[in-house]
Amino acid sequence: MRMLSVKTLTPIYALLLSASFAAWSQTPPPAPTFPKELRDQLQALRDAALTSDYAWHQLEHLTENIGPRPAGSPQAQAAAEYVAAEMRKLGLDVHLEPALVSHWIRGEEKAQLVEYPGQAPETTQRIVLATISGSSATPAEGITADVVVVHNFDELTALGHEKVAGRIVLFNVPYDERKALAGMAFEAYGEAVVYRGRGAKAAAELGAVASLIRSVGGADYRLPHTGYSVPAGIPAAALAAEDADLVEHLAAQGRVRMTLTLTPQSLPDVTGYNVVADLKGSEHPEQIVVVSGHLDSWDLGRGAIDDGAGVVISMATAELLQRLHIRPRRTLRVIAWMDEENGGGGNKAYAKTHVAEFSNHIAAIESDAGAGHPLGFYMKMPPAAIARLQPLLDILRPVGSTVFRSTPHSPGSDIDPLVEAGVPGIGIIQDGRKYFDCHHTAADTLDKVDPRELRENAAAMAVMGYALASMPDVLPR
Amino acid sequence: MRMLSVKTLTPIYALLLSASFAAWSQTPPPAPTFPKELRDQLQALRDAALTSDYAWHQLEHLTENIGPRPAGSPQAQAAAEYVAAEMRKLGLDVHLEPALVSHWIRGEEKAQLVEYPGQAPETTQRIVLATISGSSATPAEGITADVVVVHNFDELTALGHEKVAGRIVLFNVPYDERKALAGMAFEAYGEAVVYRGRGAKAAAELGAVASLIRSVGGADYRLPHTGYSVPAGIPAAALAAEDADLVEHLAAQGRVRMTLTLTPQSLPDVTGYNVVADLKGSEHPEQIVVVSGHLDSWDLGRGAIDDGAGVVISMATAELLQRLHIRPRRTLRVIAWMDEENGGGGNKAYAKTHVAEFSNHIAAIESDAGAGHPLGFYMKMPPAAIARLQPLLDILRPVGSTVFRSTPHSPGSDIDPLVEAGVPGIGIIQDGRKYFDCHHTAADTLDKVDPRELRENAAAMAVMGYALASMPDVLPR
């Protein structure tokens, strides 16, 4: 999940504790009902999901046999072909739909402090960091400059051109781990990630020769977090939290000079593929419900929580339906999006190709906030539409997914074009308290996913996806 | 802290819960007492330590201004000179005592899987690892071989020469984090670390071309843990836990080949220095009480918990005494040991130089298990000696250091030669539940130390050190 804005998502635990919300969720308008057959099918799907390891095995393959899947990479290509083949095996109608996607390659990345207060003779200090995607390359031998530390854009502005020009700017803005642990991880993320997104641009405008941020995430284990940034014509990287603090502490004592070498390559866009796999509807094949996650990942880890998990629980929805011989009334479309992380080429191409069918897209679900326990759903749709889905609360209670949270924004960046066009958009609200510990790092690996929680997510996705595909009426927009 | 044997230290929380121990600690033999003046001084030291940031500021300097301090490095030299200067500032009689110490330099270290089941075309998988000190160097272009995974020495032996020769052996032995969290961190460590110590030797004996272990430690954030290993004539490294699991999972599916490049250099021993700083005793200057930690660290982190903390709380004992104008009856000797981690050259040199005074070493304390809350002390001395220290329990109660734990082994590796010679040996029992999360990793940085807990440790060291130096009689041996 890329996400440069804090506004999309809101605190869940705060929400769960709020009396007004509790009142709202417990006293819906006159309760709609689902036909008994649909309820029975949803319960069967739920129970089958909660005992199935299909999603887990798919995640094993994507993360461990294929590995990291940055857009434009051979792994991303292999992953698209793999998912397509798996969906064909299930009998779905599968298309690899081409999209122009980014092609970014991390190069060498190293930094050291070469001058600082108290420096021992003949020594330097190693700085652990990760290039972020908008970075320009330094010369092979690196650049060397004084470092200036700020904590927000106002401090940068106050320094002005005179004190920024020719220097390396470090935005040392901590991710608020306490807020995250209180259930407001996305808010904490949003507050800090603006500096990853726009810091380099702001620094470059004042003449900085490079821009650094403190990694946006929790759990300080000398682990840098990469991610998207707006290209600003200067080198840009994220320091491990410990290194950001080191630089700040030393800079408070005197002059700090750093040699920084980053040699990323932003190559021309290449053709990548969204995997689009349809389980045709029995009554309204032209009506489409999307269940989706994004197949690309950052290069450092193996793309387990971001977002292999979202892809495999979408695949699991199809597998469950086929295994239980449950045919949706509308078409259930599994999409594995390409290049969510670094440009959104996949969703842009989908929007271009499918715009004529948008009015027939009944709803779109994207899971892109990890594989933590699913607390419920973000919903971008009118209250009347949310009300129609109330019968799902009973079905989902055993999964622990009982929150329907209305949101004014798209709950997933790949379904954003659909949502913009008025399609009801849904995201799974995963427990995100630890999500940003490993997000965009080398530690985004299979072991970070709990198999039981992944099954819960598969259940949530299958129940919501199938309900939308087979409920009597389509949702009001 | 190096430690290749599990036997030295024992579970604290289990201990605290044990009825027999509780009975023992609550019903000592006829209670000895300390003179009122000594009690007053100890309380004053304790209270001053609990409000002093001296140790913290020293730790800041050692970790952030000087940085990692591997034996033989310019940083280790600078650190010894710095500690000596600080002790002179306090008015101590300071000597930099030469010692032949190891000189090991980490080289390039990288690995990738180049063949494995399900491999995507044109791809490899990156393996995160850290060279361990007994490693031979590979050629610059690396070595490539099949990987065979085992979980203990018996499995290795069962494979035999035929299935090991020419291969890379991976000992995938997990550190038992649940045991660690239950207060048995050192036992968990000891169970796994034998493979770091002796795995390469065992693998080499069967013809392996390299030996890998799973990193010994908790908190899986793709963080390799380095450390000492017995040189075995083959390359040797520790994989991040995630990478050990990846290799194991893939090897269970079929052939796994790895290209491994490690270019460490084990250079000839060089002269390093123990810092030996005496605060002369007023009545028995010839009698010596040692308070100590080791100044060298591994190279990946900045040596905060291992063992900057031990050094700075020893320095703090001297600072507190001088600041409060408390003169010990015996000589209080602060030692900052060199090369605990990779050969023990410092303590060997001390033993050689000072063997004639060993009979006048009244006791030796070493703190080398981090900076967690001090629960009490390990004690290698006769029960009658431990009983003499019972009055300290009242003094230390406000610090929370109330356990005197008899141990049959030296509680610190640098004081081992003293303990072997019959000198009562003491270690601080730090809360070690999280110690091995960052131990020997890049994440051993200042932020891993809690300032309050460091003050508690300084209080524990000062109280124990001064009591030994000024109690009426010396401890029985």
Distance CA B273, CA A59 (A): 53
A254 in contact with B, Cβ within 8 Å: no
Residue A24, pLDDT score: 46
Give the global pTM: 0.94
Distance CA A60, CA A67 (A): 9
Residue A235, pLDDT score: 98
To 10 degrees, the CA torsion angle through B371, B374, B378, B384? 150
All domains of chain B, ordered by start, with CATH? 12-103+268-470 (3.40.630.10), 107-263 (3.50.30.30)
Residue B57, pLDDT score: 98
Q: Which residues contact A272 (CB under 8 A, 6 or more apart)?
A: A71, A72, A76, A77, A80, A98, A99, A100, A101, A296, A338, A339, A345, A346
Residue A28, pLDDT score: 52
Residue B1, pLDDT score: 64
- In which residue ranges of chain B is pLDDT below 50? 4-24
For residue A128, the chain B residues in CB contact (below 8 A) are: 442
Q: Output the CA–CA distances (angstroms, integers) from residue A223 to A220, A239, A244, A440, B66, in the order listed.
A: 7, 8, 12, 10, 21
Distance CA B198, CA A76 (A): 40
Does the annotation count B340 as an active-site position?
Answer: yes
Please answer yes or no on whether A223 and B220 come within 8 Å at the CB atom.
no
Q: What's the start-to-end Cα distance of chain A, in Å? A: 26
Q: Output the CA–CA distances (angstroms, integers) from residue B8 to B148, B225, B383, B408, B412, in the order listed.
A: 32, 21, 18, 7, 9
Which residue shows structure tokens 């002005």?
A: A160
Interface test with B, best of A61, A64, A449 (most B CBs within 10 A): A64
Query: What would the pLDDT profile of A398-427 be if each residue is shown by its tens digit?
Result: 999 999 999 999 999 999 999 999 999 999
Question: What mean pLDDT do residues A210-232 have?
Answer: 97
For residue A242, the chain B residues in CB contact (below 8 A) are: 443, 445-447
Catalytic annotation, residues of A: 340
Instruction: Give me the catalytic one of B177, B340, B341, B366.
Output: B340
CB A448 within 8 A of CB A438: yes
Candidates B74, B119, B445; nearest CB to A121:
B74
Burial of A154 (0-12, 13-18, 19+ CB in 10 A): exposed
Which residue shows structure tokens 């857009």?
A: A71
Please answer yes or no on whether B60 and A241 come within 8 Å at the CB atom.
no
Candidates B78, B219, B446; nearest CB to A221:
B219
Cis? peptide before A307, omega within 30° of 0: yes
For residue B120, the chain A residues in CB contact (below 8 A) are: 65-67, 74-75, 77-79
Within 116-155 of A, beta carbons closer than 8 Å to B belong to: 116-123, 125, 128
Collapsing DSSP to helix, strand or coil, B127 comes out as strand
Distance CA B461, CA B332 (A): 12
Candidates B74, B128, B302; nearest CB to A442:
B128
Strand order across the beta sheet in which B284-294 lies: B93-105, B265-279, B330-337, B284-294, B361-366, B425-430, B374-380, B403-406
Query: Which tokens hold the place of B437?
Result: 């999360």
Collapsing DSSP to helix, strand or coil, A304 comes out as helix
Please answer yes or no on whether B65 and A250 come within 8 Å at the CB atom.
yes
Query: Which tokens hold the place of A262?
Result: 């980053």
- Pick the closest to residue B240 from B39, B32, B441, B12 (CA basis): B441
A19 in contact with B, Cβ within 8 Å: no
Please answer yes or no on whether A245 and B446 come within 8 Å at the CB atom.
yes
By C-alpha distance, the chain B residue nearest A118 is B65
Residue B400, pLDDT score: 97
- Which percentage of chain B shows pLDDT scores above 70? 94
- Average per-residue pLDDT in chain A? 94
User: How far apart are the CA of B359 and the nearest CA of chain A, in angstroms?
Assistant: 38
Report the complex ipTM.
Answer: 0.94
DSSP letter (8 states) at residue A467? H
Please answer yes or no on whether B246 and A437 come within 8 Å at the CB atom.
no
By C-alpha distance, the chain B residue nearest A247 is B64
Please answer yes or no on whether A118 and B65 come within 8 Å at the CB atom.
yes
pLDDT at A17 over 80: no
- Which percentage of chain A shows pLDDT scores above 70? 94
Candidates A61, A253, A447; nearest CB to B245:
A447
- Pick the closest to residue B97 from B89, B105, B87 (CA basis): B87
User: How far apart are the CA of B456 and the nearest CA of chain A, in angstroms?
Assistant: 24
Query: Which tokens hold the place of A439?
Result: 């997000």
Q: Which residues contact B9 (CB under 8 A, 6 or more apart)?
A: B3, B186, B187, B190, B369, B378, B407, B409, B411, B427
Question: What mean pLDDT do residues A261-280 have?
Answer: 98
Distance CA A27, CA A46 (A): 25
CB B297 within 8 A of CB B444: yes
Please answer yes or no on whether A77 and B120 come within 8 Å at the CB atom.
yes
CB B165 within 8 A of CB B208: yes
User: How far apart are the CA of A312 and the nearest CA of chain B, in angstroms?
Assistant: 17
Cis? peptide before A146, omega within 30° of 0: no
A32 pLDDT band, cuts 50/70/90, is confident
B252 in contact with A, Cβ within 8 Å: no
By C-alpha distance, the chain A residue nearest B246 is A64
Residue B449, pLDDT score: 98
